[in-house]
Structures are given as C-alpha cells and as structure tokens.
Amino acid sequence: MIIYNVTSNVAASVHDKWLAWIKEHIPHVLATGHFTEAKLTKVLVEEHEGAVTYSVQYRAKSREALEHYYKNDADKLRGESLKMFGDKVLAFRTELELIDEYTVKAD
C-alpha cells in the first residue's frame, strides 16, 4: 500500500478559504480513480504568524495507480491551488509505503 502525503503550510490570511477549498478538492482527487480513501489532518505544531499546517493522506490503489495520477492528473490538480493561493500555501509531497497496521481489539 502506498500513501501519497501532501503537507501544506497555510498562511493565516487565506486559511478559512483554503480549508473550505481543500474539503472540496479532496473528492476531485479521489474521483481520478487512483486512490481508495483520503484523510485530512491538522499538524499539531506552533507556526509563525498564525499559519497552520495540514496533511492530506491519500491511499493509492497501487504504485502504478500513483504513477498514473502523476502522469495524468497531478499537474492540473496542483495548478488549482497555485492559481488560487499562490505562495500563501506552501506544499510538499512524500510517498509512504505501508508496512503493517495494528488495531486494538474491543473487549
């Protein structure tokens, strides 16, 4: 399992607009058909000047699916954020390989 993680540092001046936008954007990324789910999380760190950092983790169907996303969809979808928010949102992307998952069983 491959997790495509996008971490975004969002300036306070665009925070509310960006948060509303990302909640609409995630379903568009999922609609590409390359991912099975996504999780939006807030990174719990203190930032400069009121900025807030978020992480979106997309579970790719496979390594090949992620490569197809890069080739066919990524540039267009990334461009939407750049067009709307410019340098007010700084994002970086990482790929994670899920090795194992553990859960606590209910009593």
What pTM does this model have? 0.90
Question: How many Å apart are CA 80 and CA 94, to the nearest integer?
Answer: 19
Q: Which fold has domain 2-96?
A: Alpha-Beta Plaits (3.30.70)
Question: How many Å apart are CA 105 and CA 86, to the nearest integer?
Answer: 45
> To the nearest whole number, what is the mean pLDDT of the chain?
95
Q: What is the model's pLDDT at position 46?
A: 82
The pLDDT confidence band at residue 48, using thresholds 50, 70 and 90, is confident
- Give yes or no for residue 107 having a pLDDT over 80: no
pLDDT in tens, 4-27: 999 999 999 999 999 999 999 999
The pLDDT confidence band at residue 47, using thresholds 50, 70 and 90, is confident
Q: Which CA distances in Å does 82 have to 15, 29, 89, 100? A: 14, 16, 8, 35
pLDDT in tens, 58-77: 999 999 999 999 999 999 99
Q: What is the model's pLDDT at position 18?
A: 98
